[in-house]
Structure 1
Amino acid sequence: MSARRFAVAGATGRLGSHVVDVLVERGHEVVPMSRATGVDVITGAGLAEALAGVDVIIDVASWHASDQQAATEFFRTAARNLHEAGQKAGAGLLVAVSIIGADKATAGFLVSQQTHEEAVLAGPLPARILRAAQFHELVGQLLDWQQGGLVHVPRLPTQLVAARTVAEAVVDLATDPDAPSPGTPIPEIAGPREEIMSEAAELLGARRNVKVVGVDEAPDAELAAAGAFLPGPHARLAGPTFREWLDAQH
């Protein structure tokens, strides 16, 4: 496929940096968009200039706090601004990343992803969404947020996936000439096997000399325990496992 021009919102973030790397490795031109590059998807500052001549917009900008209302407003505003500026710039496609189970959530951060998906699909540009499982990298964040030698982590089933693996999947979706057919499930990407979040945290905690205690309290804990946030049968599964990824980091 011939090289195209991509704009990546959230380009300096945990997922965005990998998306930029994958696009460059595949020979595409990339316009990285973040506040660090002078582009703000919320205020719109620098957005029109960044999107000039762009073929595809990839939205992996994220909100780094747990407040549901603030996160919802962030995603709604970002999607609207990307659609409006992208349409004016002549972009042909908007691709965004969401989280597996967002459509089932009733509480917490995942609910904001429902709004994100709705806003992405409701705009004027043709749009595609990729739902991803929680990243391997999230486990370290859970330990960092609590700090100290004892942390509590939800004992929830998940199918942890590496951010690099998600980046490869979102670039595949953004460069696929055939859009997913109407009525088909939203594509999903997840790790190769089911894992328990607290057990993954214990593996990392052992290397950091941090004691991890698994707990049952979490938003939508009953739904999660029943597997509501695990990938569906159509999901793309790809390694490494959390332990393999952790070994590679150390």
Structure 2
Amino acid sequence: MKVAVAGGTGLMGRLVVQELGSRSHDTVVVSRSTGVDLTTGAGLDAALAGADAVIDVGNVTTTSRAKSLAYFGPATEHLLRASERAGVRHLVALSVVGADRVGLGYYAGKVRQEELIAAGGVPWTVLRATQFHEFAGQLLAGGRGPVVPVPRMLSRPVAASEVAAELVRLVAGPAQGMATPIAGPEPLWMHDMVRRLLRARGSRRLVVPLPLPGATGRALSSGGLLPEGGFVHGKQSYADHLAGPTAPAPASR
């Protein structure tokens, strides 16, 4: 099967491409580095020519509702139209557990993506996943002060590689609509994850849980990011992630 991977050079995209290769699927990487711009549609028709399926893990890093909508809206519309023209038989997209229950700006774009895919003309599957183990490190990016404020949020972190494997499993099967979500083996507070990551790096920075105001803050701290009902259980724990071959390097201070 020939599978195009939108966002194929990001963290999840690289893992999906690797997983597809391990299962002997032909893979096309769809990204700006390969001459494709999802937000304008440039290069999409050529990239999807002959593709049997598409896995969409394209992403934008933002906390802004406007920026999230400005990316996921046009990118999803262009991908859907090009997929229809190419005769793609299955579109699988990655979304976030709780995106429809927690009012963060980024999640508005993910909800819009889900709505567009569901209303489109390509058979589809959406897989919602909880935060990856790597999310704790992303919260640390760009900050170097002695105090680390971390939103008070309860998650069930999952290994990104396990999410990639589930996406590839789904794309090889029939379209499901909203698939059973995937989540990690244990619920954890994000500030505890960041604290453990810093300890693994040899850092003594102080982590301070920061409750967010209003309904969004209440949803984050009361399980809004946890799956409701059944879910695919990831196996790798956060402790295993920290102790694994990609364990965090020691801090320089």
TM-score by length of 1: 0.93
* Residues 1:124 and 2:117 are matched in the alignment: no
Output the CA distance in 1 between the equivalents of 2:109 and 2:87: 28
How far is 1:22 from its partner?
Answer: 0.4
2:208 aligned residue (202, 209, 213) = 213
Partner of 1:31: 28
Partner of 1:201: 194
| Aligned-residue RMSD, C-alpha | 1.5
Contact 1:192 1:239 in 2 (8 A): yes
Partner of 1:231: 227
Contact 1:105 1:111 in 2 (8 A): no
| TM superposition outliers: structure 1 runs of 4+ over 6 Å | none
Partner of 2:73: 76
- How is 1:134-173 mapped onto 2 (pairs within 5 angstroms)? 134-173=131-170
* Residues 1:21 and 2:32 are matched in the alignment: no
* Residues 1:115 and 2:112 are matched in the alignment: yes
CA deviations 1:112-161 (Å, max 9, x no partner) are 21111101111111111000001111110101133333211122110001
CA deviations 1:85-129 (Å, max 9, x no partner) are 111111111110000001212332122211111011111111110
Contact 1:23 1:171 in 2 (8 A): yes
Secondary structure of the residue that 1:57 maps to in structure 2?
A: strand
Contact 2:156 2:183 in 1 (8 A): yes
Secondary structure of the residue that 1:220 maps to in structure 2?
A: helix
Output the CA distance in 2 between the equivalents of 1:130 and 1:17: 17
**Structure 1 residue ranges without an equivalent (≥5):** none
2:172 aligned residue (172, 175, 183) = 175
What is the aligned length? 243
Secondary structure of the residue that 1:45 maps to in structure 2?
A: coil
How far is 1:207 from its partner?
Answer: 2.8
Secondary structure of the residue that 1:15 maps to in structure 2?
A: helix
TM-score by length of 2: 0.91
Contact 2:4 2:30 in 1 (8 A): yes
Output the CA distance in 1 between the equivalents of 2:101 and 2:210: 21
Partner of 2:241: 245
Output the CA distance in 1 between the equivalents of 2:109 and 2:84: 24
Aligned AA (1:153)? V
**Structure 2 residue ranges without an equivalent (≥5):** 248-253
Contact 1:155 1:199 in 2 (8 A): no
How far is 1:69 from its partner?
Answer: 0.8
How far is 1:9 from its partner?
Answer: 0.3
Aligned AA (2:239)? R
Contact 1:117 1:129 in 2 (8 A): yes
Secondary structure of the residue that 2:102 maps to in structure 1?
A: coil
Secondary structure of the residue that 2:142 maps to in structure 1?
A: helix
Aligned AA (2:27)? V
Secondary structure of the residue that 2:11 maps to in structure 1?
A: coil
Output the CA distance in 1 between the equivalents of 2:134 and 2:147: 19
Percent identity of paired positions between Structure 1 and Structure 2: 37
Output the CA distance in 2 between the equivalents of 1:159 and 1:7: 29
How far is 1:65 from its partner?
Answer: 1.6
Aligned AA (2:37)? D
Output the CA distance in 2 between the equivalents of 1:148 and 1:26: 44
